[in-house]
Structure 1
Amino acid sequence: MTLIGFAGAELKLPAVLSSGMVLQQEASVPIWGRANPGETVTVTANWGEATGKPPTEVNVQADADGHWMVKISTPKAEGNEFQVRVSTGPETVELENVVLGEVWLCSGQSNMEWRISDSMDAARQSPDLSAEDISLEPSRIRHFTVSRAYALEPAEDCGGRWLDASGENALPCSAVGYFFARAIQQELDVPIGLVISSWGGTTAQVWTSAEVVSAFPDHAKALEEIRARGGEATLSETEIDAFWNGVDEAAFFESRFKSPDFDDGHWDTTSVPTSYDDLGLSGFDGVVWFRTVVDVPPSWAGSDLVLELPPIDDHDETFWNGERIGSKLERGAWSTPRRYGVPAESVKGGAASLTIRALDTGGQGGFGAGAAKLSRGDEWIDLAGEWRYRRGVPSASAGRPPAPPQVDHRLPSALYNAMLAPLIPYAVRGVLWYQGESNRSSADEYRSLFPAMIVDWRTRWDDLALPFYFVQIAPYRYGEGPEGEDATARLREAQAMATRLPATGMALTADVGNPRDIHPKNKWEVGRRLALFALHDLYGHPEIEPDGPTLRSATLAGDRLVLDFDHVAGGLQKTGPALEHFELQAADGTFVPAVAEITGEGRTITLRAEGVGEPKAARYLWSDAAESSVRGGTGLPMAPFRTR
């Protein structure tokens, strides 16, 4: 990108509108940015030159805030490179090496973020892929990966740059996005642009706008609270008092340790900084008291002082002569050096008592590296000498401090604001989404949250039919947790319910997961399966079947249940010696393994189970890590399900 103009120029474009970008072919493409209020902005594109036509030129006037936007029409991609020129009177931005093609937004958590560099070894070992399939030679695929960021309010811009997905520049590209792009690029023979905005371990609510996510009470409460705190995750003095008073009540006799008159002569000694392990308290989570005496110079009397301490893992309450001068209870306080003021009226010459109540809530506890000192201006006293310490109440009794919401990647709408809003309204052909693992604990909410997010994005892009294809989470042993043993199955069910929205598709992964790895390496097949939906729906291949067998109906036939399926072209097929992971519900409500048989000329499956005279319901793959034992004639696995 070339900027021509004067120092202090105000003409600005967002990072996604930059040299090397891919613009959606045959579309009305928004170009937007900032300029001086009232300035006329001219956008010129030269794609008409290839056919002897004059450049496309559009003018617009920046509004009172300096914002402007135009839409320019793009022709069919022919493989040429173009220039887009944006200018005001004194300034010009030239975008070079611009191509037209198909643009897709890729988002979600770590399985979408997972890079080509982390998947290539597995790809090379696959008997299903040729050297050409996984070659990173120039492939007319380009990617723009949004830098990680979060914000309380929508941002105007984000970090990132356009790269060719070839050689070393391909390695940081999303593997799922890349293999999707390879599949459709080979069919369409046009450039493919991937705009990748993803962050591992994130939930759907952080990718949803505040206006929409606030319809969900828990998320609305988090946003209201952080805004009420001015965007800061700090606790009020009232909240701090309430917490430490509760700790005092849990171990009432310990409150006397704060007093400057308390005799700690029988306590053990140490120096600061020190850890719980150093004190022989390895594995202990809870309170440890530290006390020392500071000899304050007479000349410091009546002066404001500053107490500096190393980070204290996790929290602390610090006292000067029995009066609290500071406390850190926020999340992340374990890594924060302490800096507390000692008010002038509390400073007298001679001996002063300094007491620290440290609270570790898990893992390593104690002081981190750094100096402990007391200072007045340029003068200071080293506090690393002798301290006395005593183990206090365990964390199970002390409890955990209140955790106010903070602006980070876990706050509802925070990633929408910083990593999605700056991309709107960049013209895209559709969306690819791989997420859900981090919403297992709220699977029931996901039934409404996920479709709300989809509609939210479509509304923001002003296209209620924007194609949205997503991946059902793969088999993985999550282990026991508070969310319940069927949380994964209910999350998958919630994902499947989102296909009731138009222009959606769900890529099934029940046969390409890894029960021991939440990040299965077979990203090329996931990308290919997403591409099947695009090829079928958008790119003129109605003969392609993108869906695996999906339950249509269940009919009781005596002591048997007959299941009928859609998307069974070529007939149902076993993937192993037996049909596994089918269950029937008995009269007492329990589910028992069922014997399954393919019937009805390959379109149905009949279930029966010993001791179940009249099955009440059936389910399939209703667990974390079970892998598909049935596929359709196209090789795609049967979708998990339960009957009602």
Structure 2
Amino acid sequence: MKANLIPALCLLCCITANAKVKLPQLLSDHMVLQQQTDARLWGEATPNSTVTIQASWCNLPVETKVNDQGLWETTIVTPSANFTPQTLTISDGEPVTLHDVLIGEVWFCSGQSNMEMPLNGFDKCPIENSNNVIADAPNHPGIRMATIERKSALTPQAYANGEWKQPTTENAQWFSATGYFYALALQRTLQVPVGIINCSWGGSRVEGWLPEEILKNYPDIDLNEAKQKERSWTHPMIMYNALLYPCRNYTIKGFAWYQGCSNVGKAGTYAERLATMVKHWRSIWKEGDIPFYIVEIAPFAYGNKPEGIDGALLREAQFKAAHTLIPNSAIISTNDLVKPYEAPQIHPQNKKDIGDRLAYQALVKTYGYKGIVADSPSYKEMQADGNKITVRFDNADKGFSPWIGIEGFEIAGQDKVFHPAKAELGSKPNEIVVSSQKVKKPVAVRYCFHNFQPGNLKNHRNLPVIPFRTDSW
């Protein structure tokens, strides 16, 4: 009897194991589902079976058929956001129940190390006020974060590793600082739960977040680099395949992007490739032209040359992408958010103002709030008159500060040699008048157009003027 019983028990165990639904890690306890939408759910189960989903906020279950490969995907209607913990039970025989599920707003934060950088900081690179922020984290239980673990792949993967975490002091130290401050700022105004998916990799190029079918058309990209073990952070497509593609089914409100440092020196191709990336991401998420908000790369002495302009050219490409190439997009400036000693440090410590400025964009342009100013002043046009140039700006109808001691402007004549310029408030609120005794007939103006050159000119809501040049030299 015992000899016959063992195989029977083993068969029963196998059947039971097969009957338990397999979920991606992104569908876990403590997750946030996007409110008032058809939120996607997916996973594996017994081939050709029926998966039943029962949400605590719904009276009727949702059923979906599993295909013959054992894969299933469906949607569930979510209610208005609230802080009441919900449950979600998914079964094709043996139920799997997800606990402490919140309904709120979900944002996908991606890029390289300045997005990845946790509240704990990096070695020799602290986050401003981090200890206090981490200690305060349990006071914000409606903020949740899922951090996608690094791994590389040569082909698109079905799953990525990364579970949702609550903001305990132990967990919060590893949360993306930019993502966490973004969530805090959103929650302060929206007063709903906020979930952040942090999908970033330090040092990654924009090409790392694009698929092979696009990259193979770029003559300067060698796809064989992806097979190498050295310098993996520079490789093409591996982040897309292993980190981003597996997240595409998770319903989100929009994207926040903080990347560009590793493409410095390649500004000529960056804007178009970033726009191509956004178009492709939106196509695989299948949610239309959802928002895409960009963080300008910070001032940094690339090549140990603060006076160089490679970083400035990349910022210019970022601005071009946001303003002319990517619909439903915007950029925030970080020109004023560094300290002088951070010139050789690519990870400046002020991430709170970055999170806040991202939130201003979302609150105004995604959520429709009035009374908040989101956009920094940006160059509009110039007019030369003798030994002076008047520069006019968009997003500056209430004028500028400081009134005196304006820093960061340079002007040049036909010789293309730039000299520091005296800058004064113009006759109209959006005007700045620049001049230099060394330039008798100026023809071009630049503002903070160097690798590391913080300026001090801001609008009436303390948003900094975006670095620019009027020439194309």
TM > 0.5 fold call: yes
Instruction: Describe the shift of the 1:523–1:480 C-alpha distance in structure 2 as closer, same or farther (beyond 3 A).
Output: closer
SS in 1 for 2:336: coil
Contact 1:106 1:177 in 2 (8 A): yes
Does 1:567 find its partner at 2:415?
Answer: no
Q: CA deviation at 1:64?
A: 3.2
Contact 1:572 1:602 in 2 (8 A): yes
Match of 1:269 in 2: none
Match of 1:189 in 2: 191
Is the radius of gyration larger for structure 1 or structure 2? 1
Contact 2:54 2:88 in 1 (8 A): yes
Q: Given residue 146 of structure 2, which amino acid in structure 1 is its aligned partner?
A: F
Cα distance in 1 for residues equivalent to 2:143 and 2:397: 33
Cα distance in 2 for residues equivalent to 1:5 and 1:508: 57
After the TM superposition, which residues 150-189 of structure 1 pair with which residues of structure 2 at under 5 Å, given as runs? Answer: 150-189=152-191
Match of 2:386 in 1: 558
Cα distance in 2 for residues equivalent to 1:47 and 1:5: 31
User: Which stretches in structure 1 are left out of the alignment for 5+ residues?
Assistant: 49-53, 234-330, 333-405
Does 1:474 find its partner at 2:303?
Answer: no
User: Which residue of 405, 418, 441 maps to 1:578?
Assistant: 405
Does 1:488 find its partner at 2:328?
Answer: no
Contact 1:123 1:134 in 2 (8 A): no
Does 1:593 find its partner at 2:417?
Answer: no
Does 1:510 find its partner at 2:335?
Answer: yes
SS in 1 for 2:53: strand
Aligned-residue RMSD, C-alpha: 2.6
Match of 2:9 in 1: none
Contact 1:570 1:634 in 2 (8 A): no
Between Structure 1 and Structure 2, which shows a larger proportion of helix residues? 2
Between Structure 1 and Structure 2, which shows a larger proportion of strand residues? 1
Instruction: Describe the shift of the 1:589–1:138 C-alpha distance in structure 2 as closer, same or farther (beyond 3 A).
Output: same
Does 1:99 find its partner at 2:102?
Answer: yes
Instruction: Describe the shift of the 1:541–1:567 C-alpha distance in structure 2 as closer, same or farther (beyond 3 A).
Output: same
Q: CA deviation at 1:159?
A: 1.1
Contact 1:586 1:592 in 2 (8 A): no
Q: Deviations over 1:477-529 (max 9, x none)?
A: 22358xx9311010000011121222212111111123242111111111111
Question: Runs of 4+ in structure 1 displaced over 6 angstroms?
Answer: 131-134
User: Which residue of 35, 53, 70 maps to 1:43?
Assistant: 53
Contact 2:388 2:441 in 1 (8 A): yes
SS in 1 for 2:16: coil
Cα distance in 2 for residues equivalent to 1:107 and 1:537: 20
Q: CA deviation at 1:410?
A: 2.6
Instruction: Describe the shift of the 1:12–1:472 C-alpha distance in structure 2 as closer, same or farther (beyond 3 A).
Output: same
Cα distance in 2 for residues equivalent to 1:170 and 1:203: 27
After the TM superposition, which residues 271-350 of structure 1 pair with which residues of structure 2 at under 5 Å, given as runs? Answer: none
Q: CA deviation at 1:189?
A: 1.5
Q: Given residue 21 of structure 1, which amino acid in structure 2 is its aligned partner?
A: M
Q: CA deviation at 1:553?
A: 1.0
Cα distance in 2 for residues equivalent to 1:625 and 1:499: 22
Cα distance in 2 for residues equivalent to 1:480 and 1:111: 19
Match of 1:616 in 2: 443
Match of 1:428 in 2: 252
Identity %: 35
Q: CA deviation at 1:570?
A: 3.1
Q: CA deviation at 1:132?
A: 8.2
Cα distance in 1 for residues equivalent to 2:315 and 2:431: 22
Match of 1:526 in 2: 354
Match of 2:136 in 1: 135
Contact 2:203 2:233 in 1 (8 A): no
Instruction: Describe the shift of the 1:565–1:134 C-alpha distance in structure 2 as closer, same or farther (beyond 3 A).
Output: farther
Matched residues, number: 451
User: Which stretches in structure 2 are left out of the alignment for 5+ residues?
Assistant: 1-13
User: Which residue of 117, 121, 128 maps to 1:118?
Assistant: 121
Q: Given residue 371 of structure 2, which amino acid in structure 1 is its aligned partner?
A: E
Q: TM-score, normalised by structure 2?
A: 0.89
SS in 1 for 2:370: coil
Cα distance in 2 for residues equivalent to 1:45 and 1:206: 37
Match of 1:453 in 2: 277
SS in 2 for 1:137: helix
Cα distance in 2 for residues equivalent to 1:447 and 1:585: 27
Cα distance in 2 for residues equivalent to 1:121 and 1:626: 21
Contact 1:138 1:167 in 2 (8 A): no
Q: CA deviation at 1:10?
A: 6.6
Q: CA deviation at 1:107?
A: 0.9
Match of 2:91 in 1: 87
User: Which residue of 54, 74, 77 maps to 2:78?
Assistant: 74
Q: TM-score, normalised by structure 1?
A: 0.66
